[in-house]
């Protein structure tokens, strides 16, 4: 087993604080696991005195498995944990917490979803909005911020504050804690319970932290409480790959490590063993534009150059056509689908490409649920209209259609069960009656009565043309840069299907049953499209789809980065310099996943709007339709 000089020095480091700056593809995990092995075998450190902390469960498992493999299954007793699992374990023993005290992700999402429906919010993807709201809640706790002074970047300020308070109330009412609560409670506990703190210091004499650039304030405060006199803290990370600021990560903690620990050692792993030389050079050129960072000299020993392709397709259609044709060519050249990855800013953007490839018979795998058209938003809206016509008066159903098309009806006025007559009276009795809204409510009452008399096919056509859902879709797609063609395609499918049913009730029952079946199938798929079960996942030869955030830590022979345009990368909400720097780091992470071939695409036209290429394209010196 051979190490380069920097790896060797980091592995052989014994006591005291130590910072290892590990660039992409530099053998970070290899160095970390061999350092654990060296402590045990060469410095007589008991495995029970070593604590290794990561940020997610899969990373903890990977490091643990690699350590035991490289150490011939010796060294049993090293404690491998995520921050969350470590904090919970300590609190569990100190405060007699049980697993039932942890709020589930499903319940978190359910609370946020319920609150979101109360407000006049426009969003393209409900799941992604919920994730962003939860991330902001996490950031408030991790940064120990005052909710009264916090301004949300996701939804209106007061709306966010209301949702935050309801979320906290619902947790407290149920006697539950989330993972961020664990950290806050542990900080307080360690300050109050010196006996507990000393017992942990005695147990964990050596602390090793992976991906240190992702640490937040509260987590670091706990770590400082766990350090003994020798400060045996060994951290590995790359400030250039810090991309989780939106949920509270603080790369400045890593950047100030040498100031916090004045006697700390520093090692730089700057040899990239993953990517070809010109891909590394491109990444270096990009990240050099960030001002707040450690200066580095990332390079590769490989003399061969990879292929970098930059294209500016005319529009999304041309972008999709190029993607399909290029993947076919790569396959003909002997590259397996599993060695190809496609990165987009969001899962919603990725779904467009998944559908295109799967329509061509190309298998795909992804970490998001790829629902059928039965589960699409527009089908839900059509069904809501039909179920209301059948007599459903639940608030949930009316919320789906009340302003589709726009009727300017305030959602909070909807009581459950919904009475449109009572709703109308609210507006009639107002100090200044809104006659436009009153007229709209009368029209809605008329439309619902009309739907009752129709066949399924006639009713859906009436919803589309008579009520105006199709015009609403056109306007919504224009304002929100949504894919109008995909929405209308789903609407056309459900319309065509309705021809087979005369009664609306039979049609609704059929679609609901299909939705249920698809839901069960999706939960069975564990994120793998095209019917591949979890047990077959490792051997599944399919195109990989990830968001740029989820791509971190991965590597592929071929990488496509899609829609590298202004307002997407960097995101239009990124305005301050530190936000732009994080966006640049996100693009850097995407580029450095590629081993041999990197494609970057910036379509000129998307959803009826012209788009400029990302400012990052100019920074790295790429020109239209360039092949390097």
Residues marked as binding for ATP?
A: 22-29
Q: How far is CA 22 from CA 27, 211, 215, 621, in A?
A: 8, 9, 15, 26
Residues 6+ apart with CB under 8 A from 200: 90, 190, 226
Quote the CA–CA distance of 241 and 405 in Å, as a whole number.
Answer: 43
Sole residue written with tokens 């109308």: 424
Bridge-based pairing state of the strands 556-561 and 543-547 = unpaired
- Among 367, 425, 412, smallest CA distance to 547 is for 367
Residues 305 and 277: beta-carbon distance below 8 Å: yes
- Among 219, 215, 266, smallest CA distance to 239 is for 215
Quote the CA–CA distance of 593 and 25 in Å, as a whole number.
Answer: 8
Sole residue written with tokens 């012209």: 610
- Among 316, 280, 285, smallest CA distance to 300 is for 280
Quote the CA–CA distance of 448 and 398 in Å, as a whole number.
Answer: 12
Q: Which residues of 329-341 are buried (b: 16+ CB within 10 A; e: fewer)?
A: ebeeeebebbbbb
Bridge-based pairing state of the strands 307-311 and 626-627 = antiparallel
First to last CA, the chain: 35
**Edge-to-edge strand ranges of the sheet holding 307-311:** 364-366, 543-547, 340-344, 556-561, 594-601, 307-311, 626-627
State the binding site: 22-29
- The phi-psi region of residue 276 (left if phi > 0; otherwise alpha if psi is between -120 and 50; otherwise beta) is beta
Sole residue written with tokens 């609306």: 504
């Amino acid at each position: 087993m051979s190490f380069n000089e920097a790896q060797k020095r980091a592995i052989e480091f014994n006591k005291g604080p130590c910072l290892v700056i590990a660039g992409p593809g530099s053998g970070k995990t290899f160095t970390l696991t061999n350092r654990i092995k060296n402590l045990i075998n060469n410095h007589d450190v008991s495995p029970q005195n070593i604590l290794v902390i990561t940020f997610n469960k899969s990373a903890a498992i990977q490091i643990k498995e690699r350590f035991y493999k490289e150490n011939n299954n010796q060294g049993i007793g090293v404690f491998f944990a995520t921050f969350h699992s470590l904090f919970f374990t300590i609190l569990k023993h100190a405060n007699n917490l049980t697993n039932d005290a942890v709020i589930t992700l499903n319940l978190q999402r359910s609370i946020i979803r319920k609150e979101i429906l109360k407000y006049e919010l426009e969003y393209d993807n409900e799941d992604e909005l919920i994730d962003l709201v939860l991330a902001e809640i996490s950031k408030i706790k991790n940064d120990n911020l005052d909710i009264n002074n916090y301004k949300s970047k996701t939804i209106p300020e007061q709306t966010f504050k209301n949702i935050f308070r309801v979320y906290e109330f619902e947790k407290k009412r149920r006697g539950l804690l989330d993972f961020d609560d664990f950290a806050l409670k542990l900080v307080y506990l360690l300050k109050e319970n010196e006996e507990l703190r000393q017992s942990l210091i005695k147990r964990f004499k050596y602390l090793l932290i992976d991906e240190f650039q992702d640490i937040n304030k509260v987590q670091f405060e706990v770590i400082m409480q766990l350090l003994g006199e020798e400060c045996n803290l060994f951290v590995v990370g790359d400030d250039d790959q810090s991309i989780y600021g939106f949920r509270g990560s603080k790369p400045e903690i890593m950047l100030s490590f040498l100031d916090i620990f004045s006697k700390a050692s520093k090692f730089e792993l700057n040899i990239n063993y993953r990517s070809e030389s010109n891909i590394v050079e491109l990444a270096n050129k990009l990240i050099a534009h960030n001002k707040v960072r450690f200066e580095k000299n990332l390079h590769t020993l490989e003399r061969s150059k990879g292929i970098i392709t930059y294209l500016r397709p005319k529009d999304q259609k041309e972008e999709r056509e190029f993607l399909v044709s290029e993947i076919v060519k790569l396959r003909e050249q002997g590259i397996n689908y599993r060695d190809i990855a496609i990165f987009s800013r969001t899962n919603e953007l990725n779904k467009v490409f998944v559908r295109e490839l799967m329509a061509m018979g190309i298998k795909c795998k992804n970490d998001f649920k790829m629902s059928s058209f039965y589960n699409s938003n527009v089908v839900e809206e059509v069904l809501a209209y039909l179920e209301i016509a059948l007599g459903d008066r639940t608030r949930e159903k009316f919320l789906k259609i009340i302003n589709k098309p726009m009727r300017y009806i305030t959602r909070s006025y909807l009581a459950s069960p919904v009475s449109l007559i009572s709703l109308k009276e609210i507006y009639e009795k107002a100090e200044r009656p809104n006659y436009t809204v009153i007229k709209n409510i009368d029209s809605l009452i008329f439309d619902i009565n009309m739907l009752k008399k129709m066949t399924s096919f006639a009713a859906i056509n009436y919803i589309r043309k008579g009520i105006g859902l199709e015009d609403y879709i056109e306007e919504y797609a224009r304002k929100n840069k949504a894919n109008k063609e995909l929405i209308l395609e789903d609407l056309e499918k459900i319309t065509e299907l309705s021809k087979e049913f005369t009664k609306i009730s039979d049609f609704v029952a059929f679609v609901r049953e299909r939705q249920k079946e698809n839901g069960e199938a999706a939960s069975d798929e564990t994120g793998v499209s095209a019917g591949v079960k979890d047990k077959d996942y490792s051997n599944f030869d399919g195109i990989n789809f990830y968001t740029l955030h989820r791509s971190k830590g991965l590597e592929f022979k071929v990488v496509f980065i899609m829609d590298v345009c202004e307002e997407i990368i960097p995101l239009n909400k990124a305005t301050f310099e530190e936000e732009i720097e994080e966006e640049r780091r996100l693009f850097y992470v995407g580029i450095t996943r590629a081993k041999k071939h990197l494609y970057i695409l910036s379509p000129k036209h998307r959803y009826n709007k012209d788009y400029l290429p990302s400012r990052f394209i100019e920074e790295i010196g790429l020109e239209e339709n360039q092949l390097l």
